[in-house]
A and B are shown apart, each in its own frame.
Chain A
């Protein structure tokens, strides 16, 4: 059997005039976490929906554990868990009833369902709320139950569409930890995210998606080294001063310098050291920045580096694809 849990080849999907997937390709190795990174409307959700047999592709091929998502949809459905962008739970059922419903509909045998539901409720810290209707849950609790629901039948392949959107920091870190645990136990995870940090923390490999295409597909470290691990942003106001600063810095520091108006962006893989260099060089000409930010690269920086344009939010363009 092939080492790939998911294979996507030349997948296309169009909503009216908008091409949500314009021939997307990627493979996910078994037992790994694969991140689809891109802005709203890039086609991430559409790709996941095709893999999860929810949407039919217009062209191309997608397989999950060797089963074709169109011709063998039922076999695919017996092997996947899906947690979509919104908590897909029944607000009138209790947490336990929601998990039981998913267990029954996942074709599990009755005696297996309740112990599994209890186990998941404990693991997601929902045991105390297990018998309350979902209407009374907070947003974070709903999200956790939604992810728990996707795990009821112990799926070997898990799809998580922006799993941490709407979660507070604590819940987010817990979920990250949970994903690491699942992968340790052999689950393959395909997740989408708009945050480079999240993809970096979780995924062994990242595909950057733009306009329905994969524009980069690499290990996070390699992506970041192409990109630089530190971004320094300097605001230098005043007539031509920013331009003068670019002239001074170019070639004299270990990093790439870009200017947008009065904003200088320096990307470097030398960590904070670059900051000292930059300030020293500027001082030789008596230039002092008005504002200063040092941060990790963001999705937007990835896009600038890969495409030369900002990560545009194209949520309207994708129709229901990523917006819903």
Chain B
């Protein structure tokens, strides 16, 4: 193959680097994804109204029938609600990325001189920002329906950070899903069978001990239960460290597995 050496100076003015370009690219993508929350009513409803309905339903409809021993049900419920909210919210990453592949926007991104990391980083950071707002909203709703902190403000902040870390890990699972299926409707359809067992076969809303034995095995050893237990320990009191480390270990494990897969899929997603 003839490789003509480039002897004549090429126009290099286009190769100037802008300082902090990867950060700028990531912020531009994150901003673009956040704008969607403001402009698409379903997305906003899904991420705010829907968890509020869950709180009201479990607090006032099912709560009376659920035995959580000496702990008031509302104090048991709210940590589960926080976790459930960020899991459901993570579907947005699957649908959003699948839509970007399908619309051809991903093809355009691949042809732009932008940081290769920006699309996934921007996507997951946008969802993190949304989660901050949604978790604060859910805390306010919790206080209004009688949720109380039995520890201190620092523990509460720690609990919130743990929920956000878990939500961030979930964003990478669902980003992977969205890039794998490449179609928003399929992404939505594929997401539900993943999140339903995670959220409902867990200690999020009921005690694991109330489930049949075979289900307990799963329910006790999965990240939603781990995070809910850690948040409970941080807001109700009692032994805490073990639960918190378990939850963090899940998040780190999820990120280590799914971030590289998502990045690989992104590179090939056209």
- Is A52 an interface position by the 8 A CB rule? yes
Q: Please report the C-alpha to C-alpha distance between residue A1 and residue B8 in the assembled complex, in whole angstroms.
A: 5
Query: Are A92 and B36 also in contact (CB < 8 A) when A82-B111, A87-B104, A106-B113 are?
Result: yes
Name the distance in Å between A296's Cβ and chain B's nearest Cβ: 31
Contact of B35 with A88 in the complex, beta carbons under 8 Å:
no
Contact of A77 with B104 in the complex, beta carbons under 8 Å:
no
Number of A-B residue pairs, CB cutoff 8 Å, is: 100
Q: Please report the C-alpha to C-alpha distance between residue A10 and residue B3 in the assembled complex, in whole angstroms.
A: 13
Q: Please report the C-alpha to C-alpha distance between residue A216 and residue B105 in the assembled complex, in whole angstroms.
A: 33
Contact of A85 with B10 in the complex, beta carbons under 8 Å:
no
Q: Which residues from 125 to 170 on chain A have a C-beta closer than 8 Å to any C-beta of chain B?
A: 133, 149-150, 156
- Is B53 an interface position by the 8 A CB rule? no
Contact of B39 with A133 in the complex, beta carbons under 8 Å:
yes
Chain A contacts of B75 at CB under 8 A? none
Chain A contacts of B25 at CB under 8 A? 104-105
Q: Which of A66, A79, A109, A149 touches B14 (beta carbons < 8 Å)?
A: A79
Query: Are A54 and B270 also in contact (CB < 8 A) when A92-B35, A109-B18 are?
Result: yes
Q: Which residues from 1 to 52 on chain B have a C-beta closer than 8 Å to any C-beta of chain A?
A: 1, 3-4, 6, 8, 10-11, 14-18, 21, 24-25, 28-29, 32, 35-36, 39-40
Q: Please report the C-alpha to C-alpha distance between residue A121 and residue B26 in the assembled complex, in whole angstroms.
A: 25
Chain A's closest residue to B267 (CB) is A56
Determine which residue in B17, B32, B111 has the highest number of CB atoms from chain A within 10 A of its CB, and name it. Answer: B111
- Is A314 an interface position by the 8 A CB rule? no
Q: Please report the C-alpha to C-alpha distance between residue A320 and residue B10 in the assembled complex, in whole angstroms.
A: 34
Chain B contacts of A150 at CB under 8 A? 108
Contact of A91 with B35 in the complex, beta carbons under 8 Å:
no
Chain A contacts of B11 at CB under 8 A? 65, 79, 156
Interface size on A, residues (CB 8 A): 44
Q: Please report the C-alpha to C-alpha distance between residue A199 and residue B149 in the assembled complex, in whole angstroms.
A: 71
- Is B144 an interface position by the 8 A CB rule? no
Q: Please report the C-alpha to C-alpha distance between residue A84 and residue B102 in the assembled complex, in whole angstroms.
A: 12
Contact of B10 with A77 in the complex, beta carbons under 8 Å:
no
Chain B's closest residue to A1 (CB) is B8
- Is A75 an interface position by the 8 A CB rule? yes
Name the distance in Å between A45's Cβ and chain B's nearest Cβ: 10
Q: Please report the C-alpha to C-alpha distance between residue A205 and residue B24 in the assembled complex, in whole angstroms.
A: 40
Q: Which residues from 1 to 50 on chain A have a C-beta closer than 8 Å to any C-beta of chain B?
A: 1-2, 9-10, 49
Name the distance in Å between B48's Cβ and chain A's nearest Cβ: 17
- Taking Cβ atoms with an 8 Å cutoff, the residues of A that contact B are 1-2, 9-10, 49, 52-55, 61, 65-67, 74-75, 77-80, 82, 84-93, 97, 101-102, 104-107, 109, 133, 149-150, 156, 320, 324
